[in-house]
Amino acid sequence: MTGTNARIPTMDELDTEIIRLLQTDARQSNRELARRLGIAPSTCLERVRTLTRRGVIRGYHADIDHAALNRSVQAMVSVQVRPLSRAVIETFKDSVSALPEVLSVFVLAGGDDFLLHVAVQDLDHLHAFLLDQLSQRREISGFRTSVIFQRVHNTVLTRLPDPG
């Protein structure tokens, strides 16, 4: 295989079901996971370890309610930078990803160079973030902000693509 498909490990139905169940509840014990799959705990543990070694499972994370942390206003900020060079892209990506307001940084192709997902306390804090953190940066040639009213987040891949 060549290209990006060379990196995709072969997955069987058991691996897919393990991933689905762990996405639903990553805190379940190996014994419970094995029981739900109908396999021996030792088999289950070895499968999970193999999936982790192969990089399919990258970690386990808590799903945080941003409103409970007083960050109930979320927005997507499309950013254009100039000059468009590897050094500018890497420096900008690294610096904005370290900002506490920024949840995710996406590097894009097309009209926008970056998409930032930010979460702040309120609209005043969003405005301050845009003015203090973005508009002052010389490499930014423009940005647009879209406030998020609702978010539907799919945390479980119900069907994994066939690698073949």
Q: What is the pLDDT of residues 129-145, one digit of tens each?
A: 999 999 999 999 999 99
CATH for 51: 1.10.10.10
pTM of the model: 0.78
| pLDDT category of residue 153 using cuts at 50, 70 and 90 | confident
Q: What type of residue is 146? A: S
Name residue, tokens 């193999």.
50
pLDDT class for 3, splitting at 50, 70, 90? very low
Asked whether the beta carbons of 57 and 22 are under 8 A apart, the reply is yes
Is 87 within a domain? yes
3-class DSSP assignment, residue 84: coil
Give pLDDT tens digits for 83-110: 999 999 999 999 999 999 999 999 999 9
Instruction: Tell me the C-alpha distance between 31 and 43, whole Å.
Output: 10
Give the range of the structural domain holding residue 90, as residue numbers without chain letter: 66-148
Co-location of 54 and 30 in the same domain: yes
- 162: in domain: no
Rounded to the nearest integer, the mean pLDDT of the chain is: 90
Q: Give 13 or 6, the one with higher predicted confidence.
A: 13
Beta bridge partners, 13, equal none
| Total count of domains within the chain | 2
| C-alpha span between 77 and 66 (Å, rounded) | 18
* Judgement on whether residues 42 and 72 belong to the same structural domain of the protein: no
Over residues 57-79, the pLDDT tens digits come to: 999 888 888 989 999 999 999 99
- Strand 114-120 with 140-148, pairing: unpaired
